[in-house]
Amino acid sequence: MKRYHLTTFGCQMNEHDSERMKGMLESLGYREAPGREEADLILFNTCSIRESADNRFVAHLGEAKRLKTENPERVVGVGGCWSQSMKERVFERFPFVDVAFGPGQIPKLAEFLTSDSLTAQGYFEFEGFSGHLPMKRTREFQGWVQISVGCNCRCAYCIVPSTRGREVSRPPDELVAEVERLAADGVREVTLLGQNVNSYGRDLRGEGRASFAELLARVDAVEGIDRIRYTSPHPKDMREDVVRAHAELGALCEHIHLPLQSGSSRILKAMRRTYDRGRYLDRVALIREHVPDCALTTDIIVGFPGETEADFEDTLAVVEEVGYDSAFTFVFSPRRETEAAELKGQLSHAVKRERMDRLVEAVQRRASERAQRFVGRTMEVLVEGPSRKDPDRLRGRTRHNKTVHFAAEPGAAPAPGELAEVEIVSATSTTLAGEAKMLAAAR
């Protein structure tokens, strides 16, 4: 029996693609190896969103090279966004790689493995959603559903449009059927994935068309699904119907990840985000109006070319005003073949670092203040397993997407995948702590 080892870098799309890769390999008779040393097939699912992602991966690839030299029978494969952005250059730079493929070409890996080909192969076409593959889920009770692939936006800093191609939505009937299968298989929480979920469906034609809000309602109606999440919406396309859905649909969680990127309208324009600070804050106001308690999280980039101290202060001001429950903060990283990499006004590392420190301070302080609203409340927690820090406690997530570490009566501890009612006793910027009251009823 052949064994594979797969390392995943990057976002949830890649994690989901890896589940599909694993399912496909297992259907070919491969089993997962505990480490690269034991593997006949060494695979990487790569990311290229920032330079640090490239570097991390290339360091791992060194080990694959060593193992391949020890045993030339081993197959080394590189999939994902880095691979797509390098195309045939993968083989020039790393001649020991046997197969390279982009995110849309996962099934081609099976084709390669089952053919007798001894020459290295690259597969980099864009073909929309890459077909139905069995998936091997990391968690039994949580599932991802890819609602669209690709991205039609042209954010000046971003490599994704060139690694994932044009946006293609999957038909709603197909998606609902997939969610039904997941629910029948024990999944209680689904996360709908797309680079811009709000533009979902715009490319669909004919009878089977649905908007994102309509899709949410159909997924909400699937029996057994207690929680729905999605990522990411784009502020330019976030409409009232989707915001209202958060108030109206029982399973749709009280959490919206609304990427800001910058609080300066000037920088947003240079980024080609096609909204300005005012429009963004309007979306926030709309969310707060319909779902006052909604958790808001975001992505922010500091040090975009030409960002002045005043621009950066605009970003800080939005952070202060919105009070995010958490934020992913990134230092701008020039990416190959993107517009922003060529712009004048690239900032020094020292300036980016200094702004990043101030941003993180503001984000954490506001997140910690915001989190205090949960203290004293009893909240529904989807149990994920034992707490990593303290195995006597359990860990789970609230509908607001906050991690909770909590104690439960010995003998009455809820199992992973169950919903528990937990009384929150304290809160930091990142986690909540509490005590389990009882099991919550399924919705």
Residues of this chain that interact with ligand SF4 (CB under 6 A) are 151, 153, 155, 158, 160-161, 195-196, 234
In the complex, what is the shortest distance from the CB of residue 200 to ligand F3S, in angstroms, rounded to a whole number? 16
In the complex, what is the shortest distance from the CB of residue 403 to ligand SF4, in angstroms, rounded to a whole number? 25
Pick 11 or 427: Cβ nearer ligand F3S: 11
* Beta-bridge mates of residue 404: 396, 432
Pick 8 or 326: Cβ nearer ligand F3S: 8
Tell me if 48 contacts ligand F3S by CB under 6 A: yes
Among 50, 108, 277, 366, binds ligand SAH (CB under 6 A): 50
* Residue 190 three-state SS: strand
Tell me if 163 contacts ligand F3S by CB under 6 A: yes
In the complex, what is the shortest distance from the CB of residue 221 to ligand SF4, in angstroms, rounded to a whole number? 29
Structure tokens at 247: 């108030």
In the complex, what is the shortest distance from the CB of residue 45 to ligand SF4, in angstroms, rounded to a whole number? 17
**C-beta separation of 22 from 32 below 8 A:** yes
**Interface mask toward ligand SAH for 270-309; x: CB under 6 A:** -----------------------------x-x--------
User: Phi/psi at 227 (nearest 5 deg)?
Assistant: -140, 135
Tokens 């002045």 sit on residue? 308
Pick from ligand F3S, ligand SF4, ligand SAH, none: which does 161 bind, CB < 5 to 8 A by kind? ligand SF4
Residue 128: Cβ-neighbour burial (10 angstroms; 0-12, 13-18, 19+)? middle
Q: 344, 204, 192: which is closest to 270 by C-alpha?
A: 344
Name the DSSP class of 414: P
Q: How far apart are the first and last CA of the chain?
A: 43
Integer Cα distance of 163 and 171 in angstroms: 22
Pick from ligand SF4, ligand F3S, ligand SAH, none: which does 107 bind, CB < 5 to 8 A by kind? none
Structure tokens at 21: 């890769």
Structure tokens at 300: 């922010």
In the complex, what is the shortest distance from the CB of residue 7 to ligand F3S, in angstroms, rounded to a whole number? 13
- Other CB atoms within a 10 A radius of the CB of residue 276 amount to 17
Tell me if 158 contacts ligand F3S by CB under 6 A: no
In the complex, what is the shortest distance from the CB of residue 229 to ligand SF4, in angstroms, rounded to a whole number? 17
Pick 158 or 270: Cβ nearer ligand SF4: 158
